[in-house]
Structure 1
Amino acid sequence: MHQQVLRNQVKAHLLNQIHEGELAMGKTINLAALSRKIGISVTPIREALSQLEQARIIKAVPNRGFVVAGLTKKEAKNLYETIAQLEIMALEDTNFSKEDVERLQNQQVKLKRTNTHLNRLKARFEFHDLLVRKCANTVLLQILDDLKARLLFYEQGFGQDISFYENVDNQNEAIIQAIAEDNVPTAALILKMNWMVVLEYIEKQLV
């Protein structure tokens, strides 16, 4: 199998483990065990780990190997602000059809009906993916995917209360309404506020 395919397979496996909570923050990644589990040699695994290190999802620790990285307040601020700006760029580069608006509305209904923290979290990220998925800039979308994969991992560790979700729900509905009215500047403004509300909540959870 092609080396790049193997590397991507390893990355997908590790990100899935992180998303499912099987790889906790601060936990060392055992290369030999990982190689046995997924049946791939150590070389593409090391390459995949190096790429995840560049994305700052994991970090190399002397005498320990690769460890799932923590998140500082400064990193959180940089991440959320960057994602907000990139999503706004993608939003401004998207033409929404009636069907697109309906998909967003359906996703919002799904989000509100979801009652577990992890499923609610995933539904929220799916809503944001729907917002930008028709953007023609594939480089921009790939960067967004990588950054949001990291955020999804960190947010899983912070239980979010009902008032937080109610605020986000209201903003999502306002974003959909602005898009339906072809008012992209308003949608972009609310989208930025949306991410900043999440950032404020996460910052309070970080020591």
Structure 2
Amino acid sequence: MLQPQILRNRVKSHLLLQIQKGELQVGKTINLASLSRKIGVSVTPIREALSQLEQSRIISAIPNRGFVVTQLSRKEAKNLYETIAQLEIMALESSNFSEDDISLLRKRQLDLQQAHTPFGRLQARLQFHDLLVRNCQNAVLLQILEELKTRLLFYEQGFGNDSTFYENVDNQNEAVIQAIEENNVPTAALILKMNWMVVLEYVESRMKSA
């Protein structure tokens, strides 16, 4: 029999993949029985996994409705992106990069440019940022970043359809890589912050027009 933690992680992985693909929509109630049948896990670990996601503000428990994907707001978006930017800068400033690390960043940047679906572009963009901070030794900081970025997925659904947005992202990513190659971490951190603020501005403009 699988351990409870393994079952919870299976549920979380399934739900996070649905979020990334845009299949789990904001405001949607999560049907526990249906989810149990779909992934072959009992309701108990599903409730435990949903409770963990609730702590990350990804879903909310609403009386008489159950677990619902939390609504988006411009205030939350501003807080979310500004916090992620600051945490990534902290992680970047405490990291060292080898030639192999830089090669991986360039490969991920190429993956982003060559991705042809919204899901693929979103994955490549977030993986690029994960590579930027993976050498940070502060495990608590990285865990917080991971949880925050899960919520961020809801704000970025559909970005892959906007070529202008990704052109700006490509230019900034390249500038970050170049600064790291030159061992100029302060410049890399500044561009990284600009990158997140550009994304925030784009999110806010989309929410205004929605």
Q: Match of 2:125, as an amino acid?
A: R
Q: Match of 1:52, as an amino acid?
A: L
User: Which residue of structure 1 lines up, in the alignment, with residue 23 of structure 2?
Assistant: 22
Name the CA distance, whole Å, in 1 between partners of 2:160 and 2:207.
Answer: 12
Q: For residues 153-187 of structure 1, what are the alpha-carbon distances to aligned partners after superposition, in whole Å with 9 as ceiling and x for unaligned? A: 33114565222211111111110011000010110
**1:126-165 alignment to 2 at 5 Å?**
126-158=127-159, 160-165=161-166
User: Which residue of structure 2 lines up, in the alignment, with residue 91 of structure 1?
Assistant: 92
Report SS of the residue matched to 1:206: helix
Partners of 1:90 and 1:137 within 8 A in 2: yes
Q: How many residues align?
A: 207
Corresponding position: 1:5 with 2:6: yes
**1:17-166 alignment to 2 at 5 Å?**
17-158=18-159, 160-166=161-167
Partners of 1:158 and 1:205 within 8 A in 2: no
Q: For residues 18-39 of structure 1, what are the alpha-carbon distances to aligned partners after superposition, in whole Å with 9 as ceiling and x for unaligned? A: 2222222211101111122222
Shift of 1:150: 1.6
- What 5-or-longer segments of structure 1 have no aligned partner? none
Partners of 1:73 and 1:206 within 8 A in 2: yes
Aligned CA distance change for structure 1 residues 191 and 43 (closer, same or farther; 3 Å): same
Aligned CA distance change for structure 1 residues 175 and 6 (closer, same or farther; 3 Å): same
Q: Match of 1:97, as an amino acid?
A: S
Q: For residues 97-136 of structure 1, what are the alpha-carbon distances to aligned partners after superposition, in whole Å with 9 as ceiling and x for unaligned? A: 1111111112212212223322112111111111111111
- What 5-or-longer segments of structure 2 have no aligned partner? none
Aligned CA distance change for structure 1 residues 47 and 188 (closer, same or farther; 3 Å): same
Partners of 1:158 and 1:202 within 8 A in 2: no
Name the CA distance, whole Å, in 2 between partners of 1:30 and 1:88.
Answer: 38
Q: Match of 1:199, as an amino acid?
A: L
C-alpha root-mean-square deviation of aligned residues, in Å? 1.5
Name the CA distance, whole Å, in 2 between partners of 1:158 and 1:114.
Answer: 12
Normalising to structure 2: TM-score of the pair?
A: 0.92
Name the CA distance, whole Å, in 1 between partners of 2:9 and 2:115.
Answer: 31
Aligned CA distance change for structure 1 residues 168 and 148 (closer, same or farther; 3 Å): same
